[in-house]
Chain A
Amino acid sequence: AQSVTQLGSHVSVSEGALVLLRCNYSSSVPPYLFWYVQYPNQGLQLLLKYTSAATLVKGINGFEAEFKKSETSFHLTKPSAHMSDAAEYFCAVSEDNQGGKLIFGQGTELSVKP
């Protein structure tokens, strides 16, 4: 069975600082990995996804993530945080590359201090 672990339920950074949100997965087959962002009282918006192409994936809003098979990780980064980045971030793994059932991590709340 696949699973996702997000280290840190809450991360706080200063505006302009590096953002690093951690995600580790377990999977017996090549995984398809996603990062979603959720603003208060809203649905989820896709930031980026890894589907076995390039290991460094660039997404929207300046975010990117690197797939590291040896570390079973898919950490999300952004060089410089903006106030508007404050939100809940979810890492997810899919059973297959057809948009099958998503398994979500627990979520990480990102706060950005001025």
Chain B
Amino acid sequence: GAVVSQHPSRVICKSGTSVKIECRSLDFQATTMFWYRQFPKQSLMLMATSNEGSKATYEQGVEKDKFLINHASLTLSTLTVTSAHPEDSSFYICSARDRQRDRGTQYFGPGTRLTVL
């Protein structure tokens, strides 16, 4: 149980295009989802916290207009990287928490590798 999926697992795009990444909780309802970014050989950096039905809360230094987050349902959050540039290339990981089943724990998706040419 407590499975989180991400789609796509890998995406390559041209500079200037927008890319959408989906994060789904498959067997539980996630009132809160988190988006992280991870550079090679580094730790995870929290980008934003996404609450269902409300605006996301962005961490300091993260451009909200560049990284658009939508959490329209209890099982789906999306991250859109707008006008992507090579410096946006990274591993993006989402997580979700199930307040009802296992309070206090975040479950992570498998990640999405974004490469911007």
18 contacts between A and B (CB under 8 A): A41-B111, A42-B111, A43-B108, A43-B110, A44-B93, A44-B95, A45-B108, A46-B105, A90-B43, A96-B104, A97-B104, A98-B104, A99-B99, A101-B34, A102-B106, A104-B43, A104-B44, A106-B43
A43 touches B106 (CB 8 A): no
Among A42-62, those with CB < 8 Å from B are 42-46, 49, 51
Task: Let me know if A32 is at the binding interface, CB within 8 A.
Answer: yes
Chain A contact-residue range equals 20 to 34
Indicate with 1 or 0, residue by residue over A92-114, a CB within 8 angstroms of chain B CB atoms: 00101111011011110000000
C-alpha spacing A41/B90, complex, angstroms: 11
* Chain B residues within 8 Å of A, Cβ to Cβ: 4, 6, 32, 34, 42-44, 46, 49, 91, 93, 95, 97-99, 103-111, 113
Which chain A residue shows the least CB distance to B94?
Answer: A43
Which residues on B sit within 8 Å (CB–CB) of A32? 104
Given the known interface contacts A43-B93, A43-B111, A44-B108, the answer about A97 and B46 at a Cβ–Cβ threshold of 8 Å is no
Which residues on A sit within 8 Å (CB–CB) of B6? 43
C-alpha spacing A43/B32, complex, angstroms: 18
C-alpha spacing A97/B103, complex, angstroms: 7
C-alpha spacing A39/B71, complex, angstroms: 28
